[in-house]
Chains A and B, each alone.
Chain A
Amino acid sequence: MNGIARPGSGAANEGGRGRALPLWKKAKPTVKLLASLAATFLGLLLVTFFIGRVIPIDPVLAVVGERASPEVYEAAVRQLGLDKPLIVQFALYIKSVLQGDLGTSLLTANPVLEDIKRVVPATLELSTVATVIGVVLGIPMGVVAAVHAGRWPDHIVRLIGLFGYSMPVFWLGLMGLLVFYGKLDWVAGPGRLDIFYEDIVDPVTGVILIDALIAGDTEVFFNALSHIILPASVLGYYSMAYISRMTRSFMLEQLSQEYVTTARVKGLSEGRVIWRHALGNVMVPLITVVALSYANLLEGSVLTETVFAWPGLGFYITNALMSADMAAVLGGTIVVGAVFVGLNLFSDFLYRIVDPRAK
């Protein structure tokens, strides 16, 4: 929500006209939101452009090689547009990004955007399952903590959360592999599928769990499930910590309200007061929290995917880093940044729809 809720400068000077047109007045917050979204995205591109320029590797040498004659070198400089002023170069850069051209990966020799389209479903699958785990465990934990505030259930929930904020995600992943894969053998190891299950079902959506269901192949489905459960639990632990903490503080706020007292005085059971009345009112802000935690998972997924060799966006970015494939790194950064900004915007938007007071 940080960057998005602030009014953008683009919409500010048109605000005076809003009085005459109620329709325009209604649309004004949306326009402001879009303007600030555009400004943030421009800033994002400025950062990646800047990073692409500071890089100590000469982009021209990478194209022509070290033994090129000065004439060839000059020609390459002109062809890459490096002789133009920086501002023109930046404009060209924005133009190409908006056209979907993120450059070509050195590693795979494919356009970066195509590579990213291929790996994104794996990341989506992982973070969705992780969010489900975080929501299913986190919300009840937060409610219990708020109801018993200051007593042992509250302390336990707080400690579980604190552990989450203190553990490196990659280490938790490795420990999970050690215990549940290495010692107990309850789950499958790294990767999305065992090697002999690969390429059996047709990739319709790219999400193996769904593809397997479409094909009706339960064997593949359960194999995929035993692969995803550990990395998703590791990531989900962090969402759970965040969601339970926020649920607790929202619930505490609700439980001190007068309508809760009224409901109790009317003789409603304590369970109904807590789980229906109070939690029902908490659901609205919680939607925002869940969307934000989904966005935060993108960050955790970089390290988790590396540990579990999960072929998603995070794994793609770290692999590109190892081989100094800057086009892929920056392309991945732009996509992650854009998704992050988009999810923030989406949560903001959702909040406006669900809670009439926010209008």
Chain B
Amino acid sequence: MSALNNSSGTAKGGLRVWLTADEPSSRFHARMVQAYLSWLNFASNPLALFGFGIIVMLFLLAIFEPLLLTHDPLAQDLSARLLSPGQQGHWLGTDGLGRDIYSRVVAGASTTLFIVSLVALTAPVAGLVIGTIAGYFGGWVDVVLMRITDVFLAFPKLILALAFVAALGPGIENAILAIAITSWPPYARIARAETLTVRNSDFIFACRLQGASSARIVIGHVVPLCLSSVIIRVTLDMAGIILTAAGLGFLGLGAQPPMPEWGAMISEGRKYLLDQWWVATVPGLAIFIVSLGFNLLGDGLRDALDPRSGQS
């Protein structure tokens, strides 16, 4: 990582040449070449690019939310309730309390991102810690940790999340906590499997002979090798996290009113389903598009970064 100094100089002018060099001049250079080749591989897959585009859009929606809103997403106007799309300047109509659906869907993007990023930051980290410790130390540590993992894996996720939220009380923070508690086990399994393949390799023994502590070996050498498999799995799981969060919202256990959250919006729209179909349909489309984006992106990432599990 210390070789950053000479990289910016060569990059000027021939970035492409630098990125496709056969003999990288530094560790950083080698990483950049690797990343560029993976990107080329990824970019040759139109569906994956499409998914990537959707996710970029989601981020843009969340970042530029104040500019994109046409109405206050929380402002009620009972004289203009249940307007159909296009009426009175409401592009996607209004809901049962006269709130602008377009603005609420836009505002829901940041709610979704908030949920997804919190889960994506906590569950994989917990899984990595548990999986690498189990794999590296082996013995009874492994047996105990994997037994706990198996218990969590043996449940349907949504039911377990429901039971946790029921105990903790409804709310978006508790929903996130419940989803995180139920989604770490697969990461622990992946991390353990990866750890088992490297734990007896020569470079680990070399580190140990140099006097490196177990913590240093696990954090500095084992975890980085597990990262790419875990990241791919996280991307593939994103859609599932969004759907679970929306399900909890739909049941009234996730985001609480009046917070604009897509699942809760569908639940509100359910009352008007047969006569004012757009109230429930529009937020559902938003969930569908974003989940599809994450699924396409995850599939593409897996094919680009992990050739083993490609088209088989």
Measured CB to CB, the residues of A under 8 A from B are 2-4, 6, 9, 36, 39-40, 43-44, 46-48, 51-52, 54-56, 149-150, 162-163, 165-171, 174-175, 177-178, 182, 249, 252-253, 295-296, 298-299, 302-303, 306-307, 317-318, 321-322, 324, 326, 329-330, 332-333, 336-337, 340-341, 344
Chain A positions within 8 Å of B292 at CB level: 162-163, 166
Contact of A333 among B150, B160, B252 (CB under 8 A): B160
B206 lies within 8 A of chain A by Cβ: no
Q: Interface stretch among B7-15, B87-95, B227-235, B266-274? A: B266-274
User: Is B154 in contact with A333, judged by CB distance below 8 angstroms?
Assistant: no
CA distance A336 to B154 in the complex (A): 10
> Whole-angstrom distance from the CB of A313 to the nearest CB of chain B?
10
Smallest CB gap from A336: residue in B? B159
Given A6-B150, A306-B250, 16 further pairs, Cβ under 8 A = A2-B189, A4-B154, A39-B151, A44-B155, A51-B163, A52-B167, A56-B169, A165-B291, A166-B243, A166-B295, A168-B266, A182-B273, A306-B251, A318-B162, A333-B163, A336-B156
Assuming the contacts A162-B292, A165-B295, asked whether A9 and B154 have C-beta atoms less than 8 A apart, the reply is no
User: Contact: A303 with B250, CB < 8 Å?
Assistant: yes
Q: Specify which chain B residues have a CB less than 8 angstroms from the CB of A253 in the assembled complex.
A: 312
Chain B residue at minimal CB-CB distance from A8: B147
The answer for the CA separation of A289 and B213 in the assembled complex, in Å, is 44
Contact across chains for A298 and B159 when beta carbons are under 8 A apart: yes
Expressed in whole angstroms, the minimum distance between the Cβ of A282 and any Cβ of chain B is 15
Q: Using a Cβ cutoff of 8 Å, how many contacts connect chains A and B?
A: 162
Q: Which of B21-29, B102-110, B196-204, B277-285 contacts A (4 or more CB under 8 A)?
A: B277-285
Q: Which residues of B contact A306 (CB under 8 A)?
A: 250-251
Mark B269-312 against chain A: 1 for CB-CB distance below 8 A, else 0.
Answer: 11001100100110010011001100110010000000000011
A271 to B148, alpha carbons, bound, how many Å?
47
List residues of B whose CB falls within 8 A of some A CB: 143, 146-148, 150-160, 162-164, 166-169, 189, 239-240, 243, 246-247, 250-253, 263, 266, 269-270, 273-274, 277, 280-281, 284, 287-288, 291-292, 295-296, 299, 311-312
Our pick among A150, A165, A341 for the contact of B154 (Cβ within 8 Å) is: A341
Q: List 12 A-B contacts (CB under 8 A).
A: A2-B150, A3-B153, A39-B151, A168-B287, A169-B247, A171-B266, A178-B280, A302-B158, A306-B250, A329-B166, A336-B159, A337-B155
In the complex the two chains form, is A168's CB within 8 Å of B239's CB? no
Q: How far is the CA of A149 from the CA of B310 in the complex (A)?
A: 13
- By a CB distance below 8 angstroms, the chain B residues around A329 are 162-163, 166
Closest 9 CB pairs of A and B: A43-B151, A171-B284, A3-B150, A166-B291, A299-B156, A3-B154, A166-B292, A182-B274, A55-B167
